[in-house]
Amino acid sequence: MGLIQNVLAVIVVLGLLITFHEFGHFWVARRCGVKVLRFSVGFGKPLWSRHDRHGTEFAVAAIPLGGYVKMLDEREGPVDPGERHLAFNQKSVWSRIAIVVAGPLANFLLALVAYWALFVAGISTVVPVIGEVTPDSPAARGGLAAGQEITAVQGEAVRSWEEINLKLVAAIGASGELTLSARDENATRAREHRLPVQDWLVRQDPPQPLASLGITPWRPPMPAVLSQVAEGEAAAAAGLAPGDEVLAVDGTAVEDWSHFVTLVRARPGERLSLLVARDGETREVTLTPRANTLQDGTTIGYIGAGVEPVSWPEAYRREIRYGPLAAMGQAVSRTGEMTVLTLDAIRKMVVGLISPSNLSGPITIARIAGDSARSGLESFVSFLAYLSISLGVLNLLPIPVLDGGHLLYYLVEAARGRPVSERAQALGLRIGLALVGTLMLMALYFDLMRLW
């Protein structure tokens, strides 16, 4: 069921993003007087198609991993002399620039609308209160303590752990000090704390901003009560079932779910004896956690069980909501922030501050899309907005075969007064295909490594 949900979620996500992207090209092309021959969502043989009164074929194809808008163009085939004025290559350079840019801009617009809708409807989050501070960590040396609420990062106000993580990720590679503001419980004013860092999070895979600073978010007590048991894993083989509460492991009393996970992760491949409560009675079961190797080479124990969720106290809940006008300003701000963050992440990956293993391909996108869909509409829409921004940014990179590559050629043409030579464009096409193909293979490889 989980696999089916992931596949359906990624089809919906990619379908929306591709449709908006290609509609941007299509809409501006029509207004620039270019004849559009086909608007296709997906590649390959069309599963459905129809023609409109302008002669444009709208199609949904079999492979839902992309799409395209095919325009009348003398470079791609013979054009009837009577329609030559409708060809893409006959339009002014500024018209061609507008058509190329329209696709990525449509993705930014989709993200803007998604964030606006979220801010109007209200975003449910939790107050960012510190649960624990690791001794001798940057947070401890900076004076942060359990029970404090973080109110600002690097001088910018934050209201949730998500906003805190976004601000911290933007500081990857920093040396010197990170500034966090926090206020004690029942206090009205926050105090500034300076946390010493050196080459912070450089090449950490994956980056864990809060853990690296020694900060553990506050969580309500979570008993080790199982909510799900994966078929074929150690927990199911031992007879564990949803609703079971683990009381002890090899005679060690289990404090909560986090403690139980720590005990299991520390014993890969070792036989464990669990004391379990079920229906008011206790029983002993034995199991052997499967050895699971992480990306950094660490081996941990894994039994295939999930925890029963607990509700958050009302005092720790927070809803971020704005009126329609104020929400637009917030949506523009969040879209801009995520765009800058994506560009900065690309830069840091190129210079080696971020590991390339953080690249994600279709498998990871499908998993995250499925997880966000299961988490609710709010998480799904937020993920859709972020992915739409990523698609817009990536398409604007000056790489031939992408929109940004064509944009680069047209900007050069506008500056020089004549087009880039066919030979230069052909060379750029080969380089672009090689680069994009390499990136796709790398992303797929890291996807498979995560899956394995």
Rounded Cα distance between 323 and 122, Å, is 10
**110 token code pair:** 């989709």
R_g of the chain, CA atoms, integer Å: 26
* Contact call for residues 178 and 200 (beta carbons, < 8 A): yes
Of these residues, 22, 149, 319, 413, which one is catalytic?
22
Q: Report which DSSP code applies to 398.
A: S
Give the dihedral of Cα atoms 88, 93, 95, 98; nearest 10 deg.
Answer: 110
- DSSP symbols for 53-81: TTSPEEEEEEEEEEEEEEE--TTSS---G
Rounded Cα distance between 397 and 442, Å, is 18
132 burial (CB, 10 Å; 0-12 / 13-18 / 19+) is middle
* Contact call for residues 402 and 68 (beta carbons, < 8 A): no
**73 token code pair:** 């163009």
Active site residue 22: yes
| Residue entry with tokens 């329209």 | 102
263-to-79, 231, 259, 281, 286 alpha-carbon distances in Å = 71, 21, 6, 23, 14
* Contact call for residues 227 and 205 (beta carbons, < 8 A): no
Rounded Cα distance between 269 and 293, Å, is 12
**198 token code pair:** 């050196």
Active site residues: 22
